[in-house]
A and B are shown apart, each in its own frame.
Chain A
Amino acid sequence: MSDSLAGRMGPSSGPSPYGGQGSSANLADILERVLDKGVVIAGDIQINLLDIELLTIKLRLLVASVDKAKEMGIDWWEHDPSLSSRARPPQQVPAGQPPETGRDPLADENRQLRAELAELRAAIGTPQGSDGHRTHHEEEQ
């Protein structure tokens, strides 16, 4: 297919006309595609996908809407005072349970809760839930 796309389209409506070379496409649309779509293959130099996800949220680049991010179990910004008014000081880790990373008390707490949940499930004979479900400690309280 050798014919060019230019000229196949009528003028675009809306405030961000398509410039043919993409130079005028709006940044949100471009980021949405280049960060979130396209062929994802393992390069030799890797930035893991989660980092890119978190990055986009951290920068509030709207690549991930907050609701969607929550579905994915990414909700750390709710506990980041700079990002949310609902943030709270990090949970106290019980004594004798030093956090493994020291950097992410939420993740540690999650691990702990998952383990407890697994025990409880085993005790009452419920099959294991999928690992993809994060336990929100708000619900636990």
Chain B
Amino acid sequence: MTSHLQGDDAAAAAPQQPLGLPAEQRESAPPSSSYVYAIGRAGAGLDTAVPRLTGLRDGRVRTASADGLTALVSSVPADAFSEEGMKAQLENLTELEEIARTHHRVVEAAHTRTTVLPMRLATVYLDDARVRSMLRERGAEFDALLSRLEGHAELGVKVYADPRAAAADPAPATSDGPAPAAPPVSPGRAYLQQRRARRQTQRDAYRAAGAVADEVRDRAAALARDRVAHRPQQGELAAGAGENIANEAYLVPMDRLREFHRALTVLADGVPGVRIEVTGPWAPYSFATATATPPAESRRA
């Protein structure tokens, strides 16, 4: 469909067009938007991290600062990161993974140098001036969050129940070889006995995992400053054998990371069918939740 309207009028009048059509460059439309990865205090930490960082679409990461706060930003194509463009990207697992890993890599690199607040994926502004005004508007809130998180990192702890591992690790049986010849049972009955044993193993594994998860919470409480429960992971991306029954994040002081790690990984030792996985240190994603503001009047690129 060809429209004879010019410039902004054409944009306003044209129906939603699928991406990929050659959009006419309008004078008023910025060719790129500013994607924000993280926010920290202005200073050497972030300034030195930036020169070596590559962001989305191989863009160079730069800083945008206001009122003593610095945002890590890179330019992204405005069309690909418009509302429609972003939705299309996030619907595609390959592209979603690319964006998520890049976002995470930038946050991670900044976090190794100084305390930062990671942004949620896909926080995009029209330009750096808008990023700076956001920093000014929310400065007090970011400042308080940064102070709270100073000197801490996030560690993830997942507890898995894995009945199959328990079954492969048979309970201490009688050591005199094969079981004494019990009165022979019919095949059907033998089958039922096996099934019962399997169910029992399963129940035991889940019960044991639940107990370990409780211990994890107790031990962690003494070492961590804060705790957030995540949803257990399931689905095709859930890595690892067994079922994830507890998935938590802890805010741990930097000087206790190793101690925390050691104290928790041993809790599943010698418990058949239960596995503990500690991940991190992460930037404090789970503890950087700012109160959402009602979206201002929607501004579109």
Q: Which of A11-68 contact B (CB under 8 A)?
A: 12-16, 18, 21-23, 25-47, 49, 51-52, 55, 58-66, 68
Contact A22 B105 (CB under 8 A): yes
Q: Taking the complex as formed, is B62 at the interface, i.e. its CB lies under 8 A from any CB of chain A? A: no
Return the chain A residue nearest B288 by Cβ. A39
Shortest distance between the CB of A27 and any CB in chain B (Å): 6
Contact B120 A1 (CB under 8 A): no
Contact A33 B118 (CB under 8 A): yes
What residues on B are CB-neighbors of A34 within 8 Å?
100, 103-104, 118, 120-121, 285
Return the chain A residue nearest B103 by Cβ. A34
User: Interface of A with B (CB < 8 Å)?
Assistant: 1-2, 4-6, 8-10, 12-16, 18, 21-23, 25-47, 49, 51-52, 55, 58-66, 68
What residues on B are CB-neighbors of A52 within 8 Å?
90, 121-122
User: Interface of B with A (CB < 8 Å)?
Assistant: 33, 36, 39, 44-45, 81-83, 86-87, 90-91, 93, 96-97, 100-101, 103-105, 108-109, 111-115, 117-126, 130, 134, 138, 142, 145, 150-151, 153, 156, 230-240, 247, 254, 257-258, 261-262, 265, 275-282, 285-286, 288-290, 292-296, 298-301
Shortest distance between the CB of B45 and any CB in chain A (Å): 6
Contact A41 B119 (CB under 8 A): yes
What residues on A are CB-neighbors of B293 within 8 Å?
41-42
Contact A35 B100 (CB under 8 A): yes
What residues on A are CB-neighbors of B231 within 8 Å?
32, 62-65, 68
Return the chain A residue nearest B48 by Cβ. A2
What residues on A are CB-neighbors of B118 within 8 Å?
33-34, 37-39
Given contacts A40-B120, A64-B231, contact A23 B101 (CB under 8 A): yes
Contact A39 B233 (CB under 8 A): no
A-B contact count (CB 8 A): 214
What residues on A are CB-neighbors of B138 within 8 Å?
41
User: Pick the contact of A1 from B87, B151, B276 — CB < 8 Å?
Assistant: B151
What residues on B are CB-neighbors of A63 within 8 Å?
231
Given contacts A39-B118, A40-B120, contact A62 B261 (CB under 8 A): no
Given contacts A13-B265, A33-B118, A47-B90, contact A4 B113 (CB under 8 A): yes
Contact A10 B261 (CB under 8 A): yes
Given contacts A33-B285, A40-B292, contact A1 B112 (CB under 8 A): no
Contact B298 A14 (CB under 8 A): no
Contact A5 B112 (CB under 8 A): yes
Return the chain B residue nearest A33 by Cβ. B285
Return the chain B residue nearest A8 by Cβ. B257
What residues on A are CB-neighbors of B114 within 8 Å?
1-2
What residues on A are CB-neighbors of B265 within 8 Å?
13
Shortest distance between the CB of A128 and any CB in chain B (Å): 23
Return the chain A residue nearest B45 by Cβ. A2
Shortest distance between the CB of A139 and any CB in chain B (Å): 24
What residues on A are CB-neighbors of B104 within 8 Å?
22, 25, 30, 33-34
What residues on B are CB-neighbors of A25 within 8 Å?
104, 279
Name 5 A/B residue pairs within 8 A (Cβ), A-sorted: A18-B280, A21-B109, A35-B121, A39-B288, A68-B231
What residues on A are CB-neighbors of B96 within 8 Å?
31, 59
Return the chain B residue nearest A55 by Cβ. B90
What residues on B are CB-neighbors of A35 within 8 Å?
100, 120-121
User: Pick the contact of A8 from B240, B254, B298 — CB < 8 Å?
Assistant: B254
What residues on A are CB-neighbors of B105 within 8 Å?
21-23
Contact B279 A29 (CB under 8 A): yes
Shortest distance between the CB of B248 and any CB in chain A (Å): 12
